[in-house]
Structure 1
Amino acid sequence: MRLFRSLPPLLSLRAFEAAARHLSFSLAAAELFVTQSAVSHHIQKLEADLGVALFERRTRAVALTPEGEAYYANVHAAFELLRGGTEAIRAQAIGAATLTVGVLASFATRWLAPRLPAFSAAYPDITLQLRPEIALADVPAGAVDVAIRYGRGRWPATRARRLMAERLFPVCAPSLLAGGSRPRRPQDLARFPILASYSKNAFEWDCWARHVGLDLGAMQTVQLHDYNIVVEAALAGQGIAMGRQRLIAGQLETGALVPVLPDAVLDDDRIGWWLVSPKGTPKRAASAFCDWLVQAAEKDALDPMH
């Protein structure tokens, strides 16, 4: 009987494959949702098990050794086989399906749409039908299979699962603050139009104002159709909007929008984006989509520009 030596631990192989693919321990850590030191530990353990060095450690980078390159070719091919087989069996289990998703237009265009190609690649047998409407779909009645809503998780006769928290702070175009008119305290916002999106249960400006001790009664509020229009109005210098960090990360990164009061930030775990579905057993396709969204949101927390 031929004796087979045991394989290295799967965690060590996963860490090596990700680090070799990115040529970065930190990017591998972000992909695997572990710390950089954990990736380094797994790779050191693998190198000890194999008896060879797989990486050259440099000051600000890593490179594969010749042995590491040869091993990566085999390990990567094995993981690609596993990924392909897993996706095929998942697709078979779920079966061809159409999934109707109710979502705000602002979330659909500013966060969800850029990430959908990754979902389609992972679940080619699920066809998504997005309903980006300002009016909330009737989830309890089954108007949609799942909805992505913004709020505090209080929707009767539904199941709500938090997707990701939102960080709130007033923002505007840099041009609005030109000429020394930058607000120094929340009360100074009274000099500017306040931009708000329509909602039957508006709460974000009220919650932020209570957080900073501001009375909104004297404010000039301009109510716009939805948050996409609010952002466009802010970019045009027409007033101050409540920044939802998850949706405006790109504009903050480029400086097209800037925080008005950098220290006046509302971090409340109850405020954010929620996955809302009818009570009862969800469709397999709905469960797959929700699980995928949660993973995408976790990656977004590590890299909002992802």
Structure 2
Amino acid sequence: MALFKDLPPLLALRAFEAVARHLSFIKAANELSVTQSALSHQVQKLEQHLGKPLFIRRTRAIDLTADGQRYYDEIRPALDAIAAATRTQRVAPGATVLRIGLLASFATLWLAPRLAGFLNRYPHIQVELLPAIQLANVDGTTIDLAIRYGKGDWPDVQAIRLMPEILSPVCSPAFKASQLHHGPLLMATSHRPFEWTDWSAHYRVDLDQHPRVMLHDYNIVVEAAVSGQGIAMGRHRLIERRLQDGSLVEAFDWPPYHSAIGYWLITPQGPANEAARCFSEWLQQACTDA
């Protein structure tokens, strides 16, 4: 409530900013497409709100008072920030918004670096990524498409396999050099920790002696592993750069596991709209090329 109590009339604030910038009621009125009388009324309303004059009014010219200049200098950055935020959120005329639900890790580590290719091809489609650790539901009201990580065995959805994941435990070089044989396993929060389960079953490895650290998101798991906090299950599609630059290395001697776990495109039942169809085709090709 205190915020709204202190805010001036916003129309009056806009009028003041235009007059202060031009130092002219005529030019400001033309810019805002209002009459000089209406503009003057708004400025007077702001002066009444503040309890002081903001302009020195002369016969053929105006100037800012010292308080008016100070007020203009202080509010201008805030108005610029509001304008910038609005430009970022505004949908261009004729643009279509495509909302995609997915894990933050896939968005950050795989999709975002490739997204420019889609946007260059389809500039009229505005992509909105909606990261969440919960399974995104394609209902046509909040999400148009979803990308899920798992085995594709979800009920009541239409799933298209995009690409399999290659898994292997990884850690920092320093952690490996410490020879901490039963170091903590870093895991992303999940109702189904199938990565470690499948990997340990495949190689017949007993992981019971390793403590487990549950972290909110796989991005955090990767950063914790890089900083030497434990052993992460490396999803090679997502950590390729980390493996190449040497900040993550194989924690054990077993070869990478080509699993049944992977990334899946979840589409709505029935025909997809044009934006969803374009993105689906582009994404499947991008995954094939990866």
TM range (shorter): 0.5 to 0.7
5+ long unaligned stretches in structure 2: 1-93
* Runs of 4+ displaced beyond 4 Å: none
What one-letter code is carried by the residue in structure 1 that aligns with 2:183? F
Of 231, 244, 249, the match for 2:235: 244
1:278 match: 268
Shift of 1:141: 6.7
Q: How does 1:78-157 map to 2 (within 5 A)?
A: 96-140=95-139, 142-157=141-156
What one-letter code is carried by the residue in structure 2 that aligns with 1:128? V
Shift of 1:176: 0.5
Shift of 1:173: 0.2
In the alignment, is the contact (CA less than 8 A) between 2:137 and 2:146 conserved in 1? Answer: no
* TM-score under structure 2 length normalisation: 0.65
Distance in 1 between residues matched to 2:127 and 2:233, nearest whole Å: 30
Shift of 1:156: 1.5
What one-letter code is carried by the residue in structure 1 that aligns with 2:145? V
Q: Residues 174-211 of structure 1: CA distance to partner in whole angstroms, max 9, x if unpaired?
A: 000225x27xxxxx4xx101000001222111111111
Shift of 1:140: 4.8
Which piece of structure 1 moves more, 120-129 or 130-139?
130-139
SS in 1 for 2:201: helix
Query: Which has the greater radius of gyration?
Result: 2
Shift of 1:217: 2.8
SS in 1 for 2:202: helix
SS in 1 for 2:214: strand
What one-letter code is carried by the residue in structure 2 that aligns with 1:193? P
Task: Indicate how the Cα distance of structure 1 residues 128 and 141 shifts in structure 2: closer, same or farther if over 3 A, else same.
Answer: closer
Shift of 1:113: 0.6
Q: Residues 232-290 of structure 1: CA distance to partner in whole angstroms, max 9, x if unpaired?
A: 0000000000000000000000000001124342212x311110122111112111101
Shift of 1:108: 0.5
1:215 match: 206
1:168 match: 167
Of 218, 228, 247, the match for 1:256: 247
Q: CA RMSD of the aligned region, Å?
A: 1.6
SS in 2 for 1:216: coil
SS in 2 for 1:171: strand
5+ long unaligned stretches in structure 1: 1-94, 183-187, 301-306
1:288 is aligned to 2:287: no
Identity of aligned residues (%): 49
Q: Residues 8-34 of structure 1: CA distance to partner in whole angstroms, max 9, x if unpaired?
A: xxxxxxxxxxxxxxxxxxxxxxxxxxx
Of 196, 212, 219, the match for 2:187: 196
